[in-house]
Amino acid sequence: MPSHNIFDLTGKVAAIVGSGSGIGEAVALGAARAGARVVSLDIKAEAAENVAAQARAEGCDCTSGALDIRDAAAVETAFQSIASSHGGLDIVVCTPSINVRKKILDYQDDELDRVLDLNLKGNFYVLRSAGRIMTGQRRGSIVLFSSIRSQAVEPGQSVYAATKAGIVQMARTAASEFGPYGVRVNAVGPGVIETPLTAPIKNNPDWFNAYSAKSAMNRWGKAEEMVGPTLFLASDAASFVTGTILFADGGWLAQDGRFTPPGM
Judge whether 15 and 39 are in contact, CB under 8 Å: yes
The reply to whether CATH 3.40.50.720 applies to domain 3-250 is yes
Read out DSSP for 89-135? --EEEE---------GGG--HHHHHHHIIIIIIIHHHHHHHHHHHHH
Q: How far apart are CA 130 and CA 253, in angstroms?
A: 30
Phi–psi pair at 46, nearest 5 degrees? -65, -40
Q: Which residues are catalytic?
A: 160
How high is the pLDDT of residue 262? Answer: 73
Q: How far apart are CA 191 and CA 169, in angstroms?
A: 19
pLDDT-derived band at 256 (thresholds 50, 70, 90) equals confident
Q: What is the pLDDT of residues 78-122, one digit of tens each?
A: 999 999 999 999 999 999 999 999 999 999 999 999 999 999 999
Domain ranges of the chain: 3-250
Predicted TM-score of the model (pTM): 0.95
